[in-house]
Amino acid sequence: MMITIKEVAYSLENWAPRAVAESYDNVGLQVGRMNTPVSGVLVALDLTHDVIDEALEVGANLIVTHHPNIFRPIRHLTDMSYVPGLALRLAESKLAHYALHTNLDNARNGVSFALAGLLGLRNVQFLDQKEDVLQVLVVYVPEAHAESVQLAMASAGAGLIGNYDACAFSSKGTGYFRPRMAAKPFVGTEGKLHAEPEIRIECQVEKWRLHGVLHAIQSAHPYEEVAYHVFPALQPSQNYGLGAIGELQETITLDKYLEIICERLKTRAIRVVGNAEMPIKKVAVCGGSGGSFIALAQRADADLYITGDLTYHLNFEVLDDRGKPRMALADVGHYESEWITEELVVSRLIALQPDVQVHRTRHSTNPTRLYIRKY
């Protein structure tokens, strides 16, 4: 039996939850029906007419891109302009379109982590950890059922910390309760105060997983009324954030590293602030448009910050009072810093949905090209 778009979406959103997308973004299913069976998936950075042609050619009825086609509201669904025309063509061709944008930017092992890995960085961490993501969940369980309840919580996504899951803390205590007339107690007697040896289990839960975790607790817990508390957690998340920072294995000069960057990003030109012999060891990256993180990269003591779409005046932000660069900047281009996303999504989909045919587009979706004058 073929899996549905809903099942593919669930797999992707477990990796890059829609809840961590930026508020201005438009992610998820853009065109199509969730219950449609998937004949194949085509992955691209952007939706274009060439990509639609290719999907029809390879028999893929779901296109997954990093950039959403419908980013801002559209008022007419006609072929008289580019974005609505693509959406109309998808509908007419019975193709679905799903976008993983800033939710994938914010995911651990997402866009910036992939870029960092491609450029040889080690010990990679987020440049800017996401806040207001976590809650602390505390639940009280009779001793004999503590392990089964904790495992049920973990299976629903509680206790994720970095590269670890099922993280929790437990302590012993005594729970007191008196069953009332309509109660059907697991232990205890109606009208009598009961003392029960219990385990207090506490763990952190991402906000969007809380409902599912509470449902898992209710299913595994023996009591008809479960005692639990939910508190806000003020620490930033270790699983979600923007940008990445890491270190090269050895210190290298800026221009030598730029040669490596050009080779690995398959580009012939990079706009750079910095002297050729600047020593580079600690490197920050942000796939796409990362101009707003220059100050963060400097505060993190990066020797070089790599991103795309830097406007002219942002280049002055790395200069000291004498005009000397405190940190090097490399504007590699938006497409060049994100095409690795195609490989990332393809490999993740193959791992998550091994029964689905997954294709990577053969087309460059970059509408720009570099013109290099020949002397």
Model confidence pLDDT, tens digit, residues 301-323: 999 999 999 999 999 999 999 99
Do 90 and 177 share a structural domain?
A: no
Q: Domain of 220: which CATH number?
A: 3.30.70.120
Asked if pLDDT for residue 1 goes beyond 80, the answer is: no
Do 250 and 326 share a structural domain?
A: yes
Q: Output the DSSP codes for 168-222.
A: -EEEEEEEEE---TT---SSS-TTS-EEEEEEEEEEEEEGGGHHHHHHHHHHH-S
Kindly report the backbone phi and psi dihedral angles of residue 372, in degrees, each rounded to the nearest multiple of 5, phi listed first: -115, 115
Q: Residue written as tokens 């296109």? A: 63
Q: How confident is the model at residue 372 (pLDDT cuts 50, 70, 90)?
A: confident
Asked if pLDDT for residue 154 goes beyond 90, the answer is: yes
Asked if pLDDT for residue 116 goes beyond 90, the answer is: yes
Under DSSP, is residue 90 helix (H, G, I), strand (E, B) or coil? helix
Under DSSP, is residue 60 helix (H, G, I), strand (E, B) or coil? coil
* Per-residue pLDDT tens digits for 64-102: 999 999 999 999 999 999 999 999 999 999 999 999 999
* Per-residue pLDDT tens digits for 8-60: 999 999 999 999 999 999 999 999 999 999 999 999 999 999 999 999 999 99
* Domain's final residue, options 232, 263, 287: 232
Domain annotation covers residue 372 = no
Q: How confident is the model at residue 112 (pLDDT cuts 50, 70, 90)?
A: very high
Do 287 and 206 share a structural domain?
A: no
Do 151 and 117 share a structural domain?
A: no
Q: How confident is the model at residue 2 (pLDDT cuts 50, 70, 90)?
A: confident
Q: Domain of 88: which CATH number?
A: 3.40.1390.30
Do 97 and 10 share a structural domain?
A: yes
Domain annotation covers residue 200 = yes
Domain annotation covers residue 371 = no
Domain annotation covers residue 366 = no
How many Cα atoms within 13 Å fall on the side-chain side of residue 216? Answer: 19
Do 154 and 13 share a structural domain?
A: no
Q: How confident is the model at residue 106 (pLDDT cuts 50, 70, 90)?
A: very high
* Per-residue pLDDT tens digits for 156-194: 999 999 889 999 999 999 999 999 999 999 999 999 999
Domain annotation covers residue 48 = yes
Asked if pLDDT for residue 143 goes beyond 80, the answer is: yes
Q: Which domain holds residue 11?
A: 5-105+339-360
Do 249 and 224 share a structural domain?
A: no
How many structural domains comprise the chain? 3
